[in-house]
Amino acid sequence: MAVHQLKILTENFQAVASGKKAWELRKNDRNYQLGDNLVLNDFDGENYSGKKITAYVTYMFIGGKYGLAEDHCILSLRIIDVIIKKQTDE
């Protein structure tokens, strides 16, 4: 099992954190596998907010069929933890 640190744009972060979006469409350039953990770091296009979602991959749809590019995949997620409060340096 691998841990992947990934950027996620704020609107998608909010959708995943609320449970409305339980998947990620990604370029399959990291050898994603079932059971891998994803750490989704909220990113507004310029800066990280410090908010994070940790989730694990429960299902993978590999591209190359049904119109999804061969080098992409859809990862079904189960949330493990959501950190909404911005972490401060001490």
Query: What average pLDDT values come out for the chain (90 residues) when binned by 10 residues?
Result: 97 97 98 97 97 98 97 98 73
Residue 88 lies in a domain: no
Number of domains observed in the structure of the chain: 1
Dist CA 7 CA 43 (whole Å) = 6
Q: Is residue 59 part of a domain?
A: yes
Q: Give the domain CATH number at 20.
A: 2.30.130.30
* 32-47 as b/e: b if 16+ CB within 10 A: beeebebbbbbbeeee
pLDDT at 89: 53
The whole-number pLDDT of residue 86 equals: 62
In a domain, 89, yes or no: no
Give domain status of residue 40, yes or no.
yes
Beta-strand pair 37-43/3-9: parallel
pLDDT of residue 81: 95
Let me know: does 52 contact 17? Beta carbons within 8 Å.
no
What phi, psi does 11 have (nearest 5°)? Answer: -65, -35
